[in-house]
Amino acid sequence: MSAADNDAMKPPGGQVIPSYSEARVNLSSMGSRVTSKSYSGLYRCRGCFAESLGATICFIPCCECCLWGVWGFRGIPCPALGCVTFCLCKQGSSYITEKAGMTTGELVLVDEKTGTLAMYGIGGDCTSMSEEAQCYCTK
């Protein structure tokens, strides 16, 4: 990862996005304070394709087991196409993405105070999450 990429993964205020292992430990320490509402709201994502497009995402809990993600442009939701709306499944205190029954990513609350979320993708071994976040989202 280049220095520019490293800077792209630092949210405003100097917070550094933790590794997947650190994020899981932090999430466990938050305990029952983490609910589906901890993930809900309008977010701006950085460090991924969404940033260059000016895209936002609105996470909406549809029940205690699912989290809908609706992409938008500059805060305006655009759910018209099926490809811009997706569902994450709750697993413990985080939400996962799946394809053909296999976990492909995990959305983790990394800062309880600011509501910052990080998305970690499947690692190169295809059996565990990558330690490095693919992107992060701030409210």
| HSE value, Cβ hemisphere, 13 Å, CA-based, for 18 | 15
Give CA–CA dist 93/29, Å, rounded.
Answer: 11
CA distance 105 to 41: 20
CA distances from 65 to 41, 62, 103, 135 (A): 16, 8, 15, 23
The pLDDT value recorded for residue 98 is 87
Determine contact, residues 126/30, Cβ cutoff 8 Å: no
For residue 14, name the pLDDT band (cuts at 50, 70, 90): low
Q: Is 45 exposed, middle or buried (0-12, 13-18, 19+ CB in 10 A)?
A: buried
Coil, helix or strand for 110?
A: strand
pLDDT tens, residue by residue, 37-49: 999 999 988 877 6
Total-model pTM: 0.82
Q: What is the pLDDT of residues 57-95, one digit of tens each?
A: 888 888 878 998 888 877 777 766 544 467 899 999 999
pLDDT tens readout for residues 98-130 = 888 888 999 999 999 999 999 999 888 878 899
pLDDT of residue 13: 57
